Amino acid sequence: MSAKVCRQSILAALVVLAAGAVSGLDLVKDGRSAFVIHVEEDAPASVREAAADLQAYCQQVTGANLAIVHAAAKPMISLGATRAAAAAGVTAAGLEWEGFRIKPLNGDVFILGPDTGKDEQTPQGGTSAGTRNGVATLLEDYFGVRWLMPGPQGDYVPRRPTVSVPDTERVEAPGFLNRRLPYIQPNAAGVERWSWRQKLGFSLFLTHGHNWI
């Protein structure tokens, strides 16, 4: 056995051992789920968009249709700064702009981050959709969804009857305050939504122009 193959085998074994050592919470088991998606009725648009994405892709991946509800219920995936999250002591305190927290707690899952509402800005002139970034991460890392290009033809959606999340808190934030791709036809159908799912955005507003004309 070559050294490279040996290293790969050891790595694979460590991954399996690590996966077995971490307990998880089943969001969907064998195509069935008791979970609902909880958002406040007056939640920012980015949070409501995240709820719609989670519902749609969960059904495509697992076959389970999770209802979107405005009243807290158990078990639930709570999105944004809901009253249920505050009562459970789960807040966006300490999170950076556009960052998020995914926290399983007492059989529920809370996903939230700093979210600017309509006509709101960060102190640096940008916006923040932390909750939506958390949901995009959930769909990528645990449901296995990939958005390879704008539009439904660019979606990669695996079939998984069971989806679990680790029973540990996850906190992340973007490494750059301004993440934009120029010249991607932002007004074309599907491009803006694709950009959200790639977690593009900016909490720091920057503008620039061409110096040579």
Q: Please tell me the distance from the alpha carbon of residue 120 to that of residue 35, in angstroms, as a whole number.
A: 31
CB 85 within 8 A of CB 91: yes
3-class DSSP assignment, residue 86: helix
Predicted pLDDT at 10: 53
Q: Please tell me the distance from the alpha carbon of residue 124 to that of residue 104, in angstroms, as a whole number.
A: 32
Predicted pLDDT at 175: 96
Predicted pLDDT at 136: 98
Per-residue pLDDT of the chain (213 residues; tens, 9 = 90+): 455 444 555 554 444 444 444 569 999 999 999 999 999 999 999 999 999 999 999 999 999 999 999 999 999 999 999 999 999 999 999 999 999 999 999 999 999 999 999 999 999 999 999 999 999 999 999 999 999 999 989 999 999 999 999 999 999 999 999 999 888 888 888 999 999 999 999 999 998 877 776
Q: pTM for the whole thing? A: 0.87
Q: What are the backbone angles phi and psi of residue 99, rounded to the nearest 5°? A: -80, 175
CB 147 within 8 A of CB 137: no
Predicted pLDDT at 17: 43
3-class DSSP assignment, residue 39: coil
